[in-house]
Amino acid sequence: MTLPGRTAETVSAPTGSPARAHLLHTGNLARYREALADGVDRVARRVATADRPFTGITPDALAPRVAGIDLDRPLGDAGAALDELEDVYLRDAVWFHHPRYLAHLNCPVVIPALLGEALLTAVNSSMDTWDQSAGATLVERHLIDWTATRIGFGADADGIFTSGGSQSNLQALLLAREEACLVAPAADARRDLLPRLRVLTSAVGHFSVQKSAKLLGLAPDAVVTVETDAQRRMVPAALRREITRLRAEGLVVMAVVATAGTTDFGSIDPLPELAAVTEAAGVWLHVDAAYGCGLLVSPTRRHLLDGVERADSVTVDYHKSFFQPVSSSALVVRDRRVLRHATYHADYLNPARMVEQRIPNQVDKSLQTTRRFDALKLWLTLRVMGPDAVGALFDEVVDRAAGAWELISEDPRFEVVTRSPLSTVVFRYLPTGRGRELADAANLYAREALAASGAALVAGTTVDGRHFLKFTLLNPETTLEDVGHVLELLAEHAGRYVRERTATDLACQVG
Ligand SMILES: *Cc1c(COP(=O)(O)O)cnc(C)c1O
């Protein structure tokens, strides 16, 4: 006798605890549809009416509103909770779709990816094992293979989706550390080796390299900085010299981290030349392309990543230059065998016999266990738009950044740093005459005053110890007029600051 499947017909209306009315199940599909449609509608209304990227609200003003909500007293329905959420979140959120959001590496997101997000959380697949994901595992693997092919890796490549570039970099360095430790399999030899391991990167490499070194139990001075040129790219001859110097001191270079798109300057380290150095020295080359990975699909600029195929591992952040919602990142390796360093077999989850049975358990390659099916967002993006369309969006913002660079370089009120091959522009307001000493303070002030007004958001950084401002352009909707307008606002804020400060200084001198 076969039992009937449990479907809407065979399951009666919800009984038992009223809480069950909130679970997604056959009896509650109307509620599911309504709640999600309401949420979508609220976001759409906010997007339609946001006239600034930010309201400029301060943490002090917002904190009491959030803290005042009694989490032990529920509102009972989604509509009421969303009304409340307008007050604590939606009204004062930072909107990345707004053309005057020019600050960090946050992108506006493509709609197919949002559709993917809605689906993946509702189905709630977990990527650790085949028996919690099924087709999702195959979709993720297909996307990793696709990315590896775009990188130029061969058939031995593999990889894994991660929560972000920091985690991808951490895993890359874990694999590199384990490869370096293969020469010292005995526990005491490994203990001797660990403090002697070194990681080389440039001064403008991402700080997650330092953090990873700490997490991996390396020495406090394990990350060694390699000289950069005027374009803020690692100098290959300097890398070769550093490797020789460290080895002469009895140290072991565990990995070189090249950056393909530095967070501040968008500079791309000279990958073919660096690969030649690491290949000759037999050192692991990791390419952090968290930012520059969008070039993999660029119809016009793919050549800027030439040489990436010679890396041992590559970090890609789809949530930066592929217009994907957070989180969506991957670590891709040239030789799948290195991923075994992330493998542990747990009897309850992924026993070793499953490998022999060829059951694909992604947890065998991941630092995470339960893991989101983020890959679905990229999948729907590629299936709806295709890679060229995504690359064209990235190309647009790179073009816009070139335009912005020219605009600023022609403006005598500002000083601009080296031109980025990607989409950042680092510059500062340069007061004239006596105000010149106030340059640092004026730029800090201008950035804060602009953010407080909410009219636009820009980032800041330091260049050779001085305070600079930074645009990160990731929104094709941002026009050069927007950029020009933001420059006017910055010049106004900074100029006012300098005038007021020099006036008070004068008054003090006179008094
Ligand atoms: C953003 C970034 C990272 C970190 O990525 P997250 O996704 O924020 O963790 C690493 N490297 C570079 C070059 C980046 O720009």
pLDDT, tens digit, 9 for 90 and up, residues 427-449: 999 999 888 899 999 999 999 99
Q: How many angstroms is it from 113 CA to the middle of ligand 1?
A: 20
**Window from 1-15, 103-117, 130-144 with minimum mean pLDDT:** 1-15
Helix (H/G/I), strand (E/B), else coil: 441: helix
Residue 15, pLDDT above cutoff 90:
no
According to DSSP, the residues that pair with 259 across neighbouring strands are 288
**pLDDT value for 454:** 95
- The percent of residues above 90 in pLDDT, for the chain, comes to 90
What atom in ligand 1 is closest to the CA of residue 164? 7
Q: Facing residues of 284 across strands? A: 255
**Ligand 1 mutation target, pool 106, 293, 320, 322, most atoms within 8 A of CB:** 320
Q: How far is the CA of 151 from the centre of ligand 1 (A)?
A: 18
| Burial group, residue 357, by CB count within 10 angstroms (0-12, 13-18, 19+) | exposed
Q: What local confidence, expressed as pLDDT, does residue 9 receive?
A: 47
Residues 353-366 have pLDDT tens digits of: 988 888 999 999 99
Which of the listed residues 166, 170, 314 should we mutate to test ligand 1's pocket, taking the one with most ligand atoms within 8 A of CB?
Answer: 166
Span from the CA of 393 to the centroid of ligand 1 (angstroms):
20
What is the residue-averaged pLDDT of the chain?
95
**Confidence category of residue 507, pLDDT binned at 50, 70, 90:** confident
Atom nearest to 289 CA in ligand 1 = 13
Gap from CA of 269 to ligand 1 centroid (Å): 16
Q: Return the pLDDT at 348.
A: 87
Q: Return all residues near 129 (Cβ < 8 A) that are at least 6 apart.
A: 349, 350, 359, 361, 362, 363
Arithmetic mean of pLDDT, 178-182: 96
What's the gap in Å between 319 CA and the centre of ligand 1?
10
User: What confidence score (pLDDT) does residue 177 get?
Assistant: 98
**What pLDDT band is residue 506 in, cutting at 50, 70 and 90?**
confident
Q: Atom of ligand 1 at shortest distance to CA of 329?
A: 7
71 or 503, higher pLDDT: 71
Q: How far is CA 460 from CA 94, 428, 490, in A?
A: 17, 9, 12
**Residue 327 CA: which ligand 1 atom is closest?**
7
Question: pTM score, two decimals?
Answer: 0.95
What is the average pLDDT across 472-501? 97
Mean pLDDT of 411-436: 95
- Could you tell me the pLDDT band of residue 511, with boundaries at 50, 70 and 90? low
Q: How far apart are CA 283 and CA 312, in angstroms?
A: 9
Tens-place pLDDT, residues 209-218: 999 999 999 9
Q: Which residues line ligand 1 (CB under 6 A)?
A: 105, 164-166, 169, 206, 208, 259, 261-263, 288, 290-291, 317, 329
Closest atom of ligand 1 to CA, residue 208: 10
In this structure, what token pair is assigned to residue 494? Answer: 């900074």
Separation CA 505–CA 138 (nearest Å): 67
Candidates 3.10.20.30, 3.90.1150.10, 3.40.50.720, 3.30.360.10; correct CATH number of 389-510?
3.90.1150.10
May I ask the CATH class of domain 126-385?
A: alpha beta
Of 45-59, 175-189, 245-259, 494-508, the poorest mean pLDDT is in 494-508
Q: pLDDT tier at 3 (50, 70, 90 boundaries)? A: low
pLDDT tens digit string along 225-236?
A: 999 999 999 999
Nearest CA to ligand 1 atom 10: 165
By most ligand atoms within 8 Å of CB, the mutation choice from 104, 106, 170, 206 for ligand 1 is 206
219-223, 485-489, 502-506: segment of lowest average pLDDT: 502-506
pLDDT classification of 4: cutoffs 50, 70, 90: low
Across residues 41-66, what is the average pLDDT? 97
Q: Tell me how far apart the alpha carbons of residues 264 and 228 are, in angstroms, rounded to a whole number.
A: 14
Q: Which of 107, 317, 420, 474 to mutate to test the pocket of ligand 1 (most atoms within 8 A of CB)?
A: 317
DSSP state string for 447-467: HHHHHHHTS-EEEEEEETTEE
Domain boundaries of the chain, sorted by first residue: 1-11+21-92, 126-385, 389-510
Contact in structure between 34 and 41 (CB atoms under 8 Å) = no
Closest residue CA from atom 15 of ligand 1 = 263
